[in-house]
Structure 1
Amino acid sequence: MNQAVNPFHPDLRRAARLIPNITVTRQVLAVMRFLARFQPKPRVPEDVAVEDTRVPGPAGAPPVRVRTYRSRTIQGPTPALLWIHGGGYILGQPEMDDFLCIDFARELGILVVSVDYRLAPEHPFPAPLEDCYAALRWLFTQAGTLGVVPERIAIGGASAGGGLTAALAQLAHDRKEVRPTFQLLVYPMLDDRTTTRTDIDGTSHRCWNQGSNVFGWRSYLGHEPGSAQVPAHAVPGRREDLSGLPPAWLGVGTCDLFHDEDLTYAGRLKAAGVPCDVSVVPGAFHGFDVITRDAGVARDFRGVYAAALRRALFTTRDS
């Protein structure tokens, strides 16, 4: 690719050349799940406690495993973050975000709870979302035991985890049982209608292309994406009324397939009166902050959303 027209951020150009353009299919998914078993795990620092717990699942469903991260140096009640991993609704587990969740717990002094939700296509909507809701409800109901300030519980996630975060904010709003204070949306997968677009130039997309997007949404919805109607809470980008949702932060790169749908959703949140800070990273592709973890632009991006989370959880607000 000619350097003069290279769309990628300078810190990401080498990685962009090396990342293969793979479309997820059932066969590819099986291989990816197998390889994920061998993903290296970070060394857990001595000042962070990491534990696995099973919490009550949705009615008629199995318990939900959650992975908790807490700094051993923090005393007294703390804010908390319910974190939802990505993976296109079809892949992943909490351990894939150990690095990030450990950093959140250490740097912010909060309890982090990461959800091991059921995956599509074996468990399509609403199973993954209901698992996340069960974990959120547990976090609220056990706040006293966990040493958590219930008024300072945020939800967040990346990619499909960001989509589940947005849907969870909507579901919690409608059920009126629990109320998260903030939603952290890291390049979220929000709208199945992106799969029907024919004007998208995918040459600068990495890690998640249009073919994979079709497979992910089809697996999650249980039918072809982009249909005239979908169930409530299945596709957060389709919800008409966004008023009353928690304040949000949303970040995405210009080389991300979700760029347009993400900025559209952020604009609609603002139009509905929901505060939403937006960070757009020029030349960044999907998942860049994980794949190129040590790149300067990746560290800066993580710093921006960690700072947004800190403000949301620790800034005193007038009642």
Structure 2
Amino acid sequence: MDVARPRPPFDPELADVLVTLSAQLPSTITPELIQPMRQAMASGASSKGELVRRGLVVRDVSVPSYDGASITLSVVRPARRSDAGVRPGFYYAHGGGMMFGDRLGGVGVLAEWVLRYDAVAVSVDYRLAPEYQDPTPVEDCYTGLVWTRDHADELGIDPQRLIIAGSSAGGGLAAGTALLTRDRRGPALAGQMLMYPMLDDRDQTSSAAQIDGVGVWDRGSNRTGWSALLGDRRGGDEVSAYAAPARATDLSGLPPTFIDCGSAEVFRDEDVAYAYAYASGIWVAGGQAELHVTP
């Protein structure tokens, strides 16, 4: 039986919030809770309404993925067109442990970026595990990125300023998509923003052992998410770096990268290790990389 380890403290203000959340959410997400969590995390019309209230417009586009099935992309842009010409573009993958969430799940982040930088965002509704296991989620993300590049003129995006981003599971998918586009010589990326990314299926880090039965995404939830994505392959030798980017042995040829995480979360150690492995090579080559660990 695993023994919980001492861990860095939660921020006092957030610890108070966790007390409230713990009465509403399970400490560990198990397979039978996937459907209830999907219902609880569904965004839909309320998310679109928030974007409209903030002066943005949303257009949904259906595109064929690698296997011929259709996936949906949401294009988010300012309602008032500026004279800026082509804009920076953000290609975004939402969080949700690979099992739940939707393309407008990161609506607050998308709205802030689009408004602050007069940008265009494209968010992908990748298919979810366990119904769709690896490689479907990352292939869906790659499909949407290629579509965004191919339609940059129509979208008003400067293809030289296209950044891939994602949070949690979406951060892992963004990292995997960046590896795919490098290896397939796909769309050029100006950068990648990986926000507390989910990168490693092997469940061997100290931070995973520390965050067990506490917080909003603990070790058990993480195992559930990786098992949903990989099935019996989780933790084994047959897992691709595109699915679990922490397994990548070659991080050369990737764009400037920003990674953030918290000191008291499951993903801390895998994120720091990925950032260090990536950034050391980038810094030696004279490039840019940032790692932020928030107490």
TM over 0.5: yes
Give the secondary-structure state (helix, strand or coil) at the position aligned to 1:277. Answer: strand
Residue 259, structure 1, aligned to residue 268, structure 2: yes
Alpha carbons of structure 1 residues 155 and 6: separation in structure 2 relative to 1, 3 Å: closer
**In the alignment, is residue 276 of structure 1 matched against residue 289 of structure 2?**
yes
- Give the aligned partner of residue 170 of structure 1: 179
Q: Which residue pairs with 2:13 in the alignment?
A: 11
1:180-233 CA-to-partner distances (Å, cap 9, x unmatched) read 110000000001112576982226841111111111111111224211331341
1:35 alignment partner, one of 23, 36, 40: 40
Secondary structure of 2:32 counterpart: helix
C-alpha deviations, 1:250-271, integer Å up to 9, x for none?
1111111100110000000012
TM-score normalised per structure 1: 0.81
TM (normalized to structure 2)? 0.87
Q: How far did 1:85 drift?
A: 0.1
Q: Following the alignment from structure 1 to structure 2, what is the Cα–Cα distance between the partners of residues 79 and 160?
A: 24
CA displacement 1:29-73 (0-9 Å, x = unmatched): 111112334775353226311121112322x33122011110133
Residue 228 of structure 1 corresponds to which residue in structure 2? Answer: 237
- The alpha-carbon distance between structure 1 residues 199 and 24, as it changes in their structure 2 partners (threshold 3 A), is closer
Q: Which residue of structure 2 lines up, in the alignment, with residue 55 of structure 1?
A: 63
Gaps of 5+ in 1: 283-319
Q: Residues 271-312 of structure 1: CA distance to partner in whole angstroms, max 9, x if unpaired?
A: 222632111110xxxxxxxxxxxxxxxxxxxxxxxxxxxxxx
The residue number in structure 2 matching 1:110 is 119
What is the CA distance between 1:246 and its match in structure 2? 0.9
The answer (yes or no) to whether the contact 2:29–2:224 under 8 Å persists in 1 is: yes
CA contact (8 A) 2:92 2:124 kept: yes
* Identity score, percent: 35
Q: Distance in 2 between matches of 1:278 and 1:53?
A: 34
CA RMSD of superposed structures (Å): 2.2
The one-letter amino acid paired with 2:53 is: P
Partner letter of residue 146 of structure 2? Answer: R
Aligned-pair CA distance for 1:96: 1.8
Question: Are 1:241 and 1:272, in contact at CA under 8 Å, matched by a contact in 2?
Answer: no
Instruction: Tell me if 1:96 matches 2:98.
Output: no
Please report how far the alpha carbon of residue 145 of structure 1 lies from its aligned counterpart in structure 2 after TM superposition.
1.2
Q: Is the 8 A contact 1:183 1:246 kept in 2?
A: yes
Q: Which amino acid aligns with 1:63?
A: S
Aligned residues: 277
- Residue 130 of structure 1 deviates from its aligned partner by 0.6
